[in-house]
Amino acid sequence: MNLIPFDDRDGVIWFDGEFVPWRDAKIHVLSHGLHYASCVFEGARLYNGQVFKLTAHSERLVRSAELLDMPMPFSVAELDAACKQTAERMGLTDAYLRPVAWRGPEQMGVSAPATRTHVAIALWDWPSYFDPEVKRRGVRLTHARYRRPAPDAAPWQAKAAGLYMICTLSKHAAEKAGYADALMLDHKGDVAEATGANIFFVRDGVLHTPTPDSFLNGLTRQTVMGIARAKGIEVVERTIALSELPTFSECFLTGSAAEVTPVSEIAEHRFTPADISLGLMDDYARLVRGG
């Protein structure tokens, strides 16, 4: 695989209120965020030069920082403006946007109230999270080894870097086994989500999706539920037992990166991308591009 390292690219990155050359956007090795995961981030998509649900992403970044007791030095309006300026400076029309905030190197230790919250915004070309040809046929998932933590064990409402450690491990294991992603269960052993996307199932024309009570209620998830209901499709949020998988006919993932991605299998369980999953995939694509 021919990868372009993310520290060696052309362009600029918005860094603490100023634009710096891409290769110069660096932090110190003793930054608290690196050692103690005091870091929150967002992932948004740019379509036709516009960031989809920009303010909602900025609001969630600020809320995530608050949940990690990190004072946010920029307002939602300032973050929105910085994201738009970054898009203009980079000159991209279809891309991925990554705002990130972390505790700096001013103090080292588990307790670090004297640290300063730093913020950066980067933008890069990223047309599709999954191979477009594979996506329409449905991606393959396996089971993840790790479960989402219990709601009283971690600040699950935050899009926090530390919560993604088990996601990276699970996705690496899935890819090594020939799968695209992995299904994660919650602390009770019920269906939760994939490693970086929410999950939906179809049974008899009705959409079923796990209640987000220990994982993020994704912005794409909310958007797709709105599209489905506008089309007259019933949407049910509830606890979904792993034993129910054989009873569903369709399955798909949602996320800013994944968009709407049909699933063809989860380990031994098979699904057929059909009218609902493929229709919502196309409807979402039209919506985000202003169609």
Q: What is the pLDDT of residues 46-98, one digit of tens each?
A: 999 999 999 999 999 999 999 999 999 999 999 999 999 999 999 999 999 99
Can you give the CATH number for the domain in which 149 is found?
Answer: 3.20.10.10
Q: Report, in angstroms and rounded to the nearest whole number, the Rg of the chain calculated over CA atoms.
A: 19
The answer as to whether 2 is a domain residue is no
Q: What's the pTM value of the predicted model, to 2 decimals?
A: 0.95
Q: How many domains does the chain have?
A: 2
Residues 161 and 98 in one domain: no
pLDDT higher than threshold 70 for residue 2? no
Residues 115 and 171 in one domain: no
124, 144, 159: which is the final residue of a domain?
124
Question: What is the set of active-site residues?
Answer: 159
The answer as to whether 3 is a domain residue is no
77, 101, 124: which is the final residue of a domain?
124
Residues 164 and 252 in one domain: yes
63: containing domain: 12-124
The answer as to whether 168 is a domain residue is yes
Which pLDDT score, from 0 to 100, does residue 168 have?
98
Residues 120 and 138 in one domain: no
Residues 111 and 235 in one domain: no
Q: Give how far Cα 93 sits from Cα of 48, 52, 84, 126, 268, Å.
A: 5, 12, 11, 11, 40
Can you give the CATH number for the domain in which 59 is found?
Answer: 3.30.470.10
